[in-house]
Amino acid sequence: MRPDDAVRRLKDYWREVVLLSHVQALLGWDQETYMPEGAVEERAAQQALLQGLIHRRKTALEVGELLAAAGAGEERPEGAEELGEVERALVRETYREWRRATKLPEDLVRRFAETTSRAQVVWQRARAEDEFGMFAPHLEEILSLVREIADRLGYEEHPYDALLDEYEPYMKASQVRAVFDRLEGPLVQLLEAIMEAGEVDDSPLHRHFPREGQEHVGRRILTDMGFDWKRGRLDVSAHPFTTTLGEGDIRITTRYMEDFLPSSLFGSIHEGGHALYEQGIAEELAGTILADGTSLGIHESQSRFWENVVGRSRAFWEKYFPLLEETFSSLSDVDFETFYRAINKVKPSHIRVEADEVTYNLHILLRFRLELALVEGRLAVKDLPEAWREESRRLLGIVPERDAEGVLQDIHWSFGGIGYFPTYTLGNLYSAQLAHAMERDLGDLSSLIAEARFDAILAWLREKIHRHGRTYPAHELCLRATGETLNPDYFLSYLRGKYSDVYGLS
């Protein structure tokens, strides 16, 4: 078989994997939005069945044979040189998923699923009761499993690489560490300068905002951003998310808190950013393994770009504050400047998901370092709460009184998502770097935003990021879009510029 024939057959073969994954996405979406509680058990069985069908298909002999015929192997995962660029990407990504799927014995996958499924239930209770000791044995089990997984998958430098690779393919722990090390000092310094400048009053955001008004504003902004309602929906769920049910069916969710405006507002914009990425993938890639975000970091860069760079900018609210004033009578005595400062208030706090743009990344640094120490065995699970408090004091200058507000706050470790956290900060870094490149190409971003010229912004993102799907790995995509690989300086200078303005720093 010629390599290009093999690629064609691989593509056809993988189409069913994609279809089944989208069906799984519908099961998940429904579960979070509309499913009645009586369906919980059977839904789990449905998901497990589909999971099995997908795994079987991914690991079938045929895939290995077609990959070999396409010229792919450990040394050349992208396949034969004679293949075109997109074909090579297709082989590379299929090889990557096939390799991950075949390297993990079914028994290990099952034990991991069972352990994390139990652990999530225990974690929820442990958080509610503020009892780390309850969760600790489960976390130990999970750590031992992820170490086994890392060993099975293999790695060159560090077992963490194999874990990170699931969320941020082709990146290594050493690279993350180098970038995060460069961030730490400047972030802590900036935070100190902001703290010295005095506290911002965000009480106007805690007034009464009827749900209908929030939905009205959210939908209007999403429409202006370019969200395609014919190929997507907005619904409500306890935890906002974006999910892809097909190339023409990208759904987002939000949640409405009537006593806190930012939650739905920036939540909708954030998920909208993820959705625009998925809606922008080139039609030629539809139904293939490449029709997906290339990494969680790049995906997060799209949501953060819209949420923060655009959505928390002065220019954005010069355009939309009148809409808020019109919609919510509770804002009638609030002036623009007060509102703008309120949505950009910086203050160290315990809960990551409520953190501002500056302190957010310190939360991530903390988790990344503890994860590394746990995976390496330098840190014992029993010493984790104390280590958390120490790091929190050092990075954020505050110490949680309860583990529920500290080490127990996030769900990730309970579902085995070790290696996931860094992608949040990578997203922030990429978003600023992309914004900088966009300004180079399109001119002053503030003017575009103030005029709601989101079409120009979206067109740039489509061209540079969205349309490519997984054709290029994150580092290459970044290089192509911005002219250099990941560089945290753009994010630092974005933060410095913005918060000098908000807090009147010199």
Residues noted as catalytic: 271
Q: Which structure tokens are listed for 319? A: 């355009």
Q: Which is nearer to a copy of itself, 16 or 383 (CB)?
A: 16
CA distance 215 to 218: 5
Q: What is the closest distance, in whole angstroms, from the C-beta atom of residue 32 to a copy of itself in the complex?
A: 13
**Amino acid letter for position 423:** T
CA distances from 248 to 31, 187, 281 (A): 20, 40, 10
Q: Which is nearer to a copy of itself, 247 or 357 (CB)?
A: 247
Q: Which structure tokens are listed for 453? A: 């010229």
CA distance 384 to 381: 5
Instruction: Give the chain's end-to-end CA distance (angstroms, integer).
Output: 67
470, 170 Cβ separation under 8 angstroms: no
**Residue 284 annotated as part of some ligand binding site:** no
CA distance 391 to 363: 9
Q: Which structure tokens are listed for 132? A: 């780390």
Q: What is the closest distance, in whole angstroms, from the C-beta atom of residue 243 to a copy of itself in the complex?
A: 12
Q: Which is nearer to a copy of itself, 161 or 271 (CB)?
A: 271
Q: Which is nearer to a copy of itself, 254 or 313 (CB)?
A: 254
Q: Which is nearer to a copy of itself, 230 or 333 (CB)?
A: 230
Alpha helices in 168-290 (DSSP H): 173-196, 211-225, 262-279
CA distance 319 to 36: 41
Contacts of residue 419, Cβ cutoff 8 Å, sequence gap at least 6: 160, 163, 164, 165, 166, 167, 168, 371
Q: Which is nearer to a copy of itself, 458 or 502 (CB)?
A: 458
Q: Which is nearer to a copy of itself, 58 or 88 (CB)?
A: 58
Q: Which is nearer to a copy of itself, 18 or 381 (CB)?
A: 18
CA 432 to chain CA centroid, nearest Å: 15
For residue 67, the SS3 value is helix
The strand pair at 250-254 and 242-244 is best described as: antiparallel
Q: Which long-range contacts (CB under 8 A, 24 or more apart) does 17-24 make?
A: 17/54, 17/57, 17/58, 17/289, 18/287, 18/288, 18/289, 18/291, 19/287, 20/50, 20/53, 20/54, 20/57, 21/54, 22/244, 22/245, 22/246, 22/249, 23/50, 24/50, 24/51, 24/54
471 backbone dihedrals φ, ψ, rounded to 5°: -60, -45
User: To 10 degrees, the CA torsion angle through 382, 388, 394, 398?
Assistant: -130
Which positions lie near a copy of itself, rule CB under 8 A?
Answer: 16, 19-20, 22-23, 26-27, 30, 34-43, 45-46, 49-50, 53, 228-233, 235, 245-249, 287
**Residue 138 annotated as part of some ligand binding site:** no
Q: Which is nearer to a copy of itself, 139 or 281 (CB)?
A: 281
**Residue 386 annotated as part of some ligand binding site:** no
Q: Which structure tokens are listed for 297? A: 């970091």
478 backbone dihedrals φ, ψ, rounded to 5°: -65, -45
CA distance 441 to 140: 49
274-296 burial, b at 16+ Cβ within 10 Å, e below that, comes to bbbbbbbbbeebebbbbbbbbbb
Q: Which structure tokens are listed for 299? A: 């995906």
Q: What is the closest distance, in whole angstroms, from the C-beta atom of residue 41 to a copy of itself in the complex?
A: 7
Which residue ranges are tagged as binding site for Zn(2+)?
Answer: 270, 274, 300
Q: What are the binding residues?
A: 270, 274, 300
